[in-house]
Structure 1
Amino acid sequence: MTSATPTTPLHDLADADLATLPDTLEAPSYQRSALTPSIVHLGVGGFHRAHLAVYVDDLCQRGNTDWAIVGAGVMPGDVRMADALLTQRGLYALISRGAETTTRIIGSIVDFVHVAGLDDTDGADELIARIADPATKIVSLTITEGGYPVHDDSGLFDADRAANSAAFQILVRGLDRRRRSGGGPLTVVSCDNIVHNGRVTRTATIGVADTVGDDLTDWIREHVRFPNSMVDRITPATTDADREWLAAEHGLVDRWPVVAEPFRQWVLEDDFATAMPPFADVGVLVTDDVEPYEILKLRMLNASHSCLAYLAALAGFQLVDEVLRDDDFREFVGAFMRDEAAPVLPAVPGVDVAAYAAELLERFANPAIGDQIARLCLDGSSKFPKFLLPTVRAQLDAGGSIRFAALALAGWCRYLQGRDDGGHAIELAHDPLLADLTGFAAAADTDPAVFLSNKTVFGDDLGADARFAPAFVDAFTSLQASGVRSTVAACIGR
């Protein structure tokens, strides 16, 4: 990435007058002091700031000042985001990189509350008060797929995980205070990659509320709505190089900018407790049935990312676009979508699935955003059961192909052994089950089928399946004997 000569003096988002920013930046045209904070968002990371916050900023730019955001971090590590956004008055730069690069200052986040865990009573009370405030009409969440205390296999509430879930404990306390103070109806919107994410959020919320008692559950059933949604925008982790580029190209100091692809999509169920913001006016698809769009995106885009991630790490790749420039890996992920994911998808209104798959390959191959393989490797135990295994089970029922999925999962097992094909140590990405997974992976060295005995990930069925278990063992054995490149080539028939 090339940079221009730094502009002097630098404009610091901590105190810069938006009217004096360089013309190369698109800045808010609205008066931020006139905005009404009516959305509380739990889990402010890169994706939220490249997605929901941008749609809300679009509304603000159109003169609708009723829907500003109060961001919230409910994990100890969120203190860095809190410091950055509070220092910068909620402002940040969104760098959109594709055929062209544009930079836009987003102003829709007007405050931030940090809760450093359930023991942080002051922070928790401030956030509870925000949720209970009658001015708040929406609570939205981006807390990752593993942040919902609901069992993947049964869809039932998981009380053990819920006890340690700051997000849901605080949400329910906020709903309880809202009920007691007459704060009125509320809509809770999940923006995480989960099929039926609204239904899952409702299950988790009511499960926690049941422990409170005092008619709270009945009040939630009557006054709180949980619409389903599908969200999409590839948003890699921010790097120091991105900060340096902003300073050099635009003379801008931003402690935590966001980089994203130009494409963005939001499909939202029309099921709000009060009037929905006019999201349809800014490109959101509002529909009565989100499920087909959810399944399409999760089983094509998200599953493909996971299928690539660990095999690419074993081959020594660092960036997703580099992998897509390798003919064998590109054919592998394309064949997975064409031969395994697509045939068992439900019909999606208005979508040509083959064209959608081709578009995904082009998005993955975008060299401008520098999407990291390490990002895709995060939280495999939360992702595979939701993104890939439904396709595996559907193909097993249909007697169809499973070889690409089996190789992807074998690649995950090899990755968890901690060394790539060059013998270099791999810094394993975060996973909530990492200690257990590495134990299963180590045992797989002599008995590959052991890895499938992790029922938290694979359930009771896949490890004993007469087709899938041998396919996994064969793929893993080939990775051990021949390496990832030869195994991928053989899988695609080369």
Structure 2
Amino acid sequence: MKKLSSKTLGSLGAAIAVPGYDRSAVRPGIVHFGLGNFHRVHQAVYVDRCLHKPGNEGWGICGVELIDVPATRAKAEAYRAQDCLYTVTEYAPDGAASTRVIGAMVDYLHAPDDPEAVLARLSHADTRIVSLTITEGGYNLDETTGVFKLDTPEVALDLAGGPPRTAFGYIVEALRRRREQGTKPFTVMSCDNLRHNGGTARKAIVSFARARDAGLAAWIEAEVDFPNSMVDRIAPQIPPEVKERLNKRSDIDDAVPALGETFSQWVLEDDFRAGRPPFEEVGVEMRDDVPAFEFMKGRMLNASHILLAMPGILMGYRIVHQALADTRLHRLLETFLDRDAIPRIEGPKGVSLEEYKNAVLERFSNPAINDQLLRIAFDTTAKIPVFHSKTLEMLLADGGDLRREAFFLACFGAYLTGKDDRGEAFDVVEPRLSEQDWELVRGGNPLDLLRTSPFAKLGLAEHMEFAKLYAGYVASIQATSAGQTLAALLVETA
């Protein structure tokens, strides 16, 4: 296998697409926080396409890593050794695959090693966009009040002074310097999978700034753009065996290969006073109705993803496409979409919800992606209120069928025990459940799960019909199994 670097680009196989632009001329115009797999197969790929358009040399990416653990240090070394290059292999549902080298990232900074280098890059006039994929829960907003939490340890340390540790600390300090220097502010572009992600980023950053300097916060509110976007592409984790498979296929020794499905979507508000790449020329949908796409994706794709994960894990599955191949789980998702979700969604203009549903199920069935159900289940307490609450509220309001949602939450309660129907253990990672929440979960009253902080405001424990259905499914799962309970549910609702 050939080592991946700028020197070896010209000697890779003919089947490997490589950057067709002069990378030596590319300058960082985008600084990105959160260089995980999703960014690498989504935003970075779109930027790479833009760099193939003449006159866009100023839109390279500088990646920033905030976490200081051995794995991130190893990743930093790998990017440096490979001149920030990496491969992306795309798999279609029919098994067809292609590999390309992404050259959009031209610099990579490990912030704990040199915080000042990060601030210098952020403060440089060439930096016109700062983008974020820091996860849905990474914006540090209280789930009940929506208020930015100033007392979390790293935020409190940032506010106390010294080198920043959080994205908020870096962004606000850089904006302070730009204001002081008379440099125009950059745009902050969230690419995280949450509704109103631009508005969420604005709230977090302005709140942090206000805790430092009210005048600076007012300037940020007035001068900094925070476009909303809807992003979509499945980007699974890359365990060692998948890395080996990808590199064997490409015949490239890539220390950090990435994998993605062929489907990719990015809907973005055109709110960039500081300028932007020609996204509309490379497949990005520049629209002013981003919320409609957010609602559609959240309440169909994301809601279905987590709906599949909860009973799927209990039934012994660990891979998405294998779970969906179980006709019971496939019918659960299809019925949920047809009866619960789609009738209560007003889709974006020109978009067929039926076609979108079919695309979702086809994407979940892609065996090459090999996506992990436990990855999807990570931090479920943050996802259920975001992706299921609106459908639940509408079902409760219009007298809809509550059985699928009640079954889903009963499965979530069983999932929190960390054992599936066969008694096999799995890791449960729910950082948003407090000690008091866990006391409720383990207290013996199944309805108390509905009273934990993520779900209390939905009032489900006090809704007589929902509570009865939910308690019945809890008892059935405990007495039989999630699989048998689901089979009975499907017979009832046929």
Q: Would you call these one fold, judging by a TM-score over 0.5?
A: yes
CA contact (8 A) 2:76 2:109 kept: yes
Residue 434 (structure 1) shift = 7.3
Residue in 1 aligned with 2:448? 450
Give CA deviations for 1:399-452 in whole Å, capped at 9, x if unaligned: 212221221221111111111110111222453437665544322xx3100111
What CA distance in whole angstroms lies between the structure 2 residues aligned with 1:423 and 1:416? 13
Identity of aligned residues (%): 38
Residue in 2 aligned with 1:41? 32
What CA distance in whole angstroms lies between the structure 1 residues aligned with 2:193 and 2:63? 20
Residue in 1 aligned with 2:132? 141
CA distance 1:69–1:397, change in 2 (3 Å) = same
Residue 71 (structure 1) shift = 0.5
CA contact (8 A) 1:155 1:200 kept: no
**1:24 maps to 2:10:** no
Which one is further off, 462-471 or 418-427? Answer: 462-471
Residue in 1 aligned with 2:160? none
CA contact (8 A) 1:69 1:109 kept: yes
CA distance 1:399–1:70, change in 2 (3 Å) = same
Residue in 2 aligned with 1:65? 57
1:105 partner amino acid: V
Q: Give the superposed CA RMSD.
A: 1.9
CA contact (8 A) 1:385 1:458 kept: no
Residue in 1 aligned with 2:115? 124
What CA distance in whole angstroms lies between the structure 2 residues aligned with 1:268 and 1:276? 12
**1:157 maps to 2:148:** yes
CA distance 1:341–1:460, change in 2 (3 Å) = closer
Counterparts of residues 204-283 of structure 1 (less than 5 Å): 204-213=204-213, 215-283=215-283
Residue in 2 aligned with 1:467? 465
What CA distance in whole angstroms lies between the structure 2 residues aligned with 1:134 and 1:168? 19
Residue correspondences, number: 478
Give CA deviations for 1:331-370 in whole Å, capped at 9, x if unaligned: 1011111211222223321111121111100100011111
Residue 26 (structure 1) shift = 0.8
What CA distance in whole angstroms lies between the structure 1 residues aligned with 2:338 and 2:265? 22
CA contact (8 A) 2:58 2:126 kept: no
Q: Aligned to 2:485, which of 476, 480, 487?
A: 487
CA contact (8 A) 1:417 1:438 kept: no
CA contact (8 A) 2:247 2:257 kept: no
1:456 partner amino acid: P
CA contact (8 A) 2:433 2:453 kept: no
Counterparts of residues 382-461 of structure 1 (less than 5 Å): 382-429=382-429, 431-433=431-433, 438-443=438-443, 446-459=444-457, 461=459
CA distance 1:465–1:86, change in 2 (3 Å) = farther
Residue in 1 aligned with 2:108? 112
Which one is further off, 420-429 or 102-111? Answer: 420-429
Residue 97 (structure 1) shift = 0.9
Residue 172 (structure 1) shift = 1.2
SS at structure 1 position matched to 2:89: strand
What CA distance in whole angstroms lies between the structure 1 residues aligned with 2:263 and 2:436? 37
CA distance 1:474–1:264, change in 2 (3 Å) = same
- Structure 2 segments unaligned to the other structure (5+ residues): 158-164
What CA distance in whole angstroms lies between the structure 1 residues aligned with 2:68 and 2:135? 16
1:108 partner amino acid: A
CA contact (8 A) 1:75 1:166 kept: no
Q: Aligned to 1:53, which of 44, 48, 58?
A: 44
What CA distance in whole angstroms lies between the structure 1 residues aligned with 2:394 and 2:73? 42
What CA distance in whole angstroms lies between the structure 2 residues aligned with 1:237 and 1:434? 27
CA distance 1:79–1:469, change in 2 (3 Å) = farther
Residue 223 (structure 1) shift = 1.7
Give CA deviations for 1:266-287 in whole Å, capped at 9, x if unaligned: 0001111222321000010001
Which one is further off, 150-159 or 183-192? Answer: 150-159
SS at structure 2 position matched to 1:237: coil
**1:86 maps to 2:86:** no
CA contact (8 A) 2:233 2:264 kept: yes
What CA distance in whole angstroms lies between the structure 1 residues aligned with 2:389 and 2:397? 12
What CA distance in whole angstroms lies between the structure 2 residues aligned with 1:106 and 1:42? 18
Which one is further off, 454-463 or 286-295? Answer: 454-463
Give CA deviations for 1:29-54 in whole Å, capped at 9, x if unaligned: 11111112100011000000000000
CA contact (8 A) 1:141 1:189 kept: yes
What CA distance in whole angstroms lies between the structure 2 residues aligned with 1:316 and 1:406? 20
What CA distance in whole angstroms lies between the structure 1 residues aligned with 2:454 and 2:372? 27
What CA distance in whole angstroms lies between the structure 2 residues aligned with 1:447 and 1:430? 20
- Structure 1 segments unaligned to the other structure (5+ residues): 1-9, 117-121
TM-score w.r.t. the length of structure 2 is 0.92
List structure 1 runs of 4+ shifted beyond 6 angstroms. Answer: none
CA contact (8 A) 1:228 1:290 kept: yes
1:155 partner amino acid: G
What CA distance in whole angstroms lies between the structure 1 residues aligned with 2:430 and 2:450? 20
CA contact (8 A) 2:29 2:126 kept: yes
1:141 partner amino acid: L
Residue 394 (structure 1) shift = 2.1
What CA distance in whole angstroms lies between the structure 1 residues aligned with 2:38 and 2:405? 27
What CA distance in whole angstroms lies between the structure 2 residues aligned with 1:472 and 1:127? 50
Residue in 2 aligned with 1:5? none
Residue in 2 aligned with 1:290? 290
